Structure 1
């Protein structure tokens, strides 16, 4: 009598290696002895340290995740889909399982008894070789040259080489610093500094930092007789004090000091001057912590005399990125540091251009980086996107002033092009009259984009709503920010358009969980990590942070971190989005460094199975955050 179930199992197994190398008679015998297992989502097939089973397994449907336990958390290192084999340890070894196997969704698994399978395949060289390779790939990382032969469970956690990554570790700072109030008398504050043997003291008002008093202030303002020693502190303190968050790294601290030309930083709970004082960082703290770091590049940038100097510095920045990647420095720290260096290079290019003009700017202006530069996410040498805002002037002066800034912008953008930042193909640069405007013109432009969103308006919003101050009068930028927040407040039509745009790129996997790749053209069969994976997360973060009325947070990872803070009910999703975005950005950066490209198109054939699993895991947060957008902005029918 025929066994219909066994024949269906036989037909299924025949489609996959190594079963397609087994003759029909033996394969049917195997199928007759298969046990069919049904697993609910999150059910375990086996766990770390479980005794080995008398069967190995083939996934018939669903997905089984293989993970190890690290610091009480499951770290996913592989995912088995339809036809994949797992649990081969009892076939080759007698010790306990080294991984967890857990259903990531409802799954059906075929359990194949080893006692039945072994005699049939023991003489089949092809099958044995396949099983050995499968066993190795499921428990080892043969492509990892540094850790060749080690179990994945031994090397999935990055080496903690503190001597190599010390510069990127959080800096040790003085906690609970001595403080004084604005109305304290200088004489007594100076006596306190002397008795405590400290060179600075934070000045507060209602426990919030408003300034700092240093030995330099006492020398230049009191010792010289400019102010009497009995004057109040608020008359001689340096204000405002530069504030930073508690977890700032050594490199970031030095870059902040160099950027703002200060010798001290005030550490606050959230990094702003609107939260409680936690400590103080001095130049001495940095000198003690390190001897040499990317701050040297910042100094070299300030001294650069010409375009060639800037080009050489940017090449060193590329080397810095590669070295940091090689040392497994967190990508967030790399973005932060490179973002500051990119700003410094642009700023110096502007200063050189003004010197070349021979005439000082006729009015106040500000230079903005927009797009990926505005988000401080431009690690690779891609194209430049920038804009210029200048003060409102009379009609009689308008043409003369605008022509000056257009000429200035053309010099700057040409310099940046020679440095290595390509011209924007869409000409979204300050040298374009459309993007070199007065502050009132810019406010009107944003008003029109917001109230007449349309396709073009939304495209502009996705670029120009991500901006960062580079040079000039920062108040001009704040005026534009004020307009954006005012006009977008509770603007349902605008958010419907922006939300629909954010949903245009769903999770980039096909029905059978295959990657969606380019179908034709120069990049045929490659994966567009920018448009299919990074942009959905970038667009989602933008609309959510904008609708929350949060200003001056433009970086995608920081946006998700802030969203997790203000929306604890969605914190799990936002934290996952932050992690996924940073890992995807690392994938793109590594691709670009390897092939000296913009890293946009990944050749999937050159990725390891582990890397492919990581990529697919990074796609789930896209779906989760897009569901939040659909529900929040009622886009089910709109889209």
Structure 2
């Protein structure tokens, strides 16, 4: 079916009928239309969670919503326009349904990444509510998310750019609000807050008669009416912001929300922990609040938030812990400037893929005015930062990649020079390893524009020899179930899900993104960016994206189980304690990853490096 025709079809059926043309076009472009013969199994979400939503285009589909009654007749018949598979997709659990074609059927598959936001909208929530009320005894409850609209308590104070600061402060006091919005041209806004007034007027001595536009903050993040509260919260956490402006689709201001609003929202229960961490007044206070992080993650997962979003929340919380630890330590060292460096999160934290077992890898980039002798004093302070993080339950490998070591604390110019050396000679100075670490770097404190080392690697395609060496390094860690030596030595039947499954995918994605010049950080985004190249065909990229999501979901779930059992979360999973379904999922995932690795290895032997990033040849 032509994408335009598919978009038109979806526009006539809920919950897609509330979407605009652009959103419908995006979904139609990313969807896949399949045909099924009479009696053919379309979906069995009792065995595996669905990663897609199905919409019937032609024909009828029989659905079974109860796993114990599959031998009986279907619970319902889905006609054209009907939707199924969303419950398992949203909850990421094997809760059904089982779908079988009743005659010839044409159905469209919509990937979870495109479908989930539809169900997070007001129309989607209403659709779920209708489904649940009409078939409550048969359909497992799917989660609904509150909208950011529901968090707006009252309209904000709005002032003109020329309004005197004294008048702005008077209105804020009279109405009991800690902020006022400055309305600018072209749908833009600035924000005047209590903290801004204290800094600019009381501390810096700006006259009270100064216009509002001279003190306002224009960096406040913005979200849209209709966005889910969970997504808005992630934006707030990621930007470490005090406030979030809420606008309508036309750019009109509709309200402001702050962390406290999320803290009291029933659908974001548990996430108030982030606000407690942000406002911790001592190291002891920070450690006390951090102890509740695993329970918060389990709560979010049980409430139906997708595992990749739960992991993103955790990564944002780790960012907050690091920032707060830096604040505590540098308050004890007034001789050192907290603004002289940029702190980079590396590894899984840098990619926003951290879980409970992840180390806090880091690097620091200094501006050119900081001499080498002074950097040594900063490194000592960074060691204290890691002591605070250890109190909060986060680990940093003593001999690993941390800003307290000379290799990972340099001036920006030194980082750039080192990156150019690694690019030219990756075999020397552990160039391949350092490249892998630094391209995962994400600034979370300081000037985000300071670190330039990652930009050096945007030129990788001009160095085919380096591309080949980095590829070999990326493929050196093979996906496998259990090393043969462990089997022969009759060691416990454990599986290291990070080392033998996830890390190979991360390495492939990192290299693939570098090969096409993408600056994306998350593994799935890197795979999407490289999708369609000779080295990474669409089919293989999609397979790895799906496999990575499944493995991360398993990893998070088992680490939360380990924590509840009183054990330290780790990446070692005892296979005999896993369900047969989870064991088969891991086995299939390892086979899929290994297959992609073998193909990439073969391509590298017979195709020139210059052609690796070229579009996949037509078949």
**TM bin (shorter chain):** 0.5 to 0.7
Q: Kindly tell me: are residues 459 and 403 of structure 1, through their superposed partners in 2, closer, same or farther at Cα, counting changes over 3 Å? A: closer
How far did residue 602 of structure 1 move? Answer: 2.0
CA contact (8 A) 2:220 2:241 kept: no
Task: Please name the residue that 1:290 is paired with.
Answer: 265
Which of 602, 606, 609 is residue 580 of structure 2 equivalent to?
609
Shift in CA distance, 303/199, structure 1 to aligned 2, threshold 3 Å? closer
Relative distance call for 1:381 and 1:506 in structure 2 (3 A) is: closer
- Native 8 Å contact 1:347 1:470 kept in 2: yes
Structure 1 residues 384, 310: closer, same or farther in 2, change over 3 A?
Answer: same
Check if 1:580 corresponds to 2:547. yes
Q: Which residue of 1 aligns with 2:456?
A: 483
Q: In structure 1, how many angstroms separate the alpha carbons of the residues matched to 2:575 and 2:543?
A: 23
Whether the 8 Å CA contact 2:308–2:552 is kept in 1: the answer is: no
Q: How many residues align?
A: 481
Whether the aligned pair in 2 keeps the contact of 1:560 and 1:574 (CA below 8 Å) is yes
Q: How far apart are the structure 1 equivalents of 2:311 and 2:229?
A: 15
User: Counterparts of 1:371 and 1:318 in 2: how far apart (Å)?
Assistant: 20
Structure 2, unmatched stretches of 5+, are 1-34, 57-68, 76-92, 100-134, 153-157, 164-178, 202-206, 613-619
| Structure 1 portions without partners, runs of 5+ | 1-41, 50-64, 75-91, 99-145, 175-179, 188-197, 270-275
Task: Find the aligned partners of 1:247 and 1:419 in 2 and give their Cα distance.
Answer: 36
Change (3 A) 1:473 1:95: closer
Counterpart among 455, 460, 464 of residue 438 in structure 2: 464
Aligned to 1:160: 142
**How do 1:114-263 and structure 2 match up within 5 A?**
159-162=141-144, 166=145, 203=184, 211-212=189-190, 226=209, 238-243=217-222, 249-254=228-233, 256-257=235-236, 259-263=239-243
Within the candidate set 29, 34, 47, 2:40 is matched to 47
TM-aligned CA deviation for residue 419 of structure 1? 1.9
**How far does the alpha carbon of each residue in 1:574-630 deviate from its partner, in whole angstroms, 9 at most, with x for none?**
344223212201212222222334432222222222223333443465357547755
| Distance of 1:213 and 1:360 partners within structure 2 | 30
TM-score (norm 2): 0.63
CA drift at 1:44: 8.1
What CA deviation, in whole Å up to 9, does each residue of 1:375-426 have, x standing for no partner? 12222143331112212237xx431x12220221111112212222223053
Match of 1:543 in 2: 511
Pairing 1:34-433 to 2, within 5 Å after superposition: 47-48=40-41, 71-72=53-54, 159-162=141-144, 166=145, 203=184, 211-212=189-190, 226=209, 238-243=217-222, 249-254=228-233, 256-257=235-236, 259-265=239-245, 282-283=256-257, 287=261, 290-291=265-266, 293-361=269-337, 364-393=340-369, 397-399=371-373, 401-433=374-406
CA contact 2:479–2:594 (8 Å) conserved in 1 = yes
Q: Residue 353 of structure 1: CA displacement? A: 0.6
Q: Which of the numbers 498, 503, 521 marks the counterpart of 1:530?
A: 498
Shift, 1:334, TM fit: 0.7
Distance change >3 Å, CA 362–CA 515, structure 1 → 2: closer
TM superposition shift of 1:543 = 1.5
- The answer to which of 441-450 and 281-290 deviates more is 281-290
CA contact (8 A) 2:246 2:254 kept: yes
Distance 1:344 1:358 in 2: 21
The structure whose Rg is larger is 1
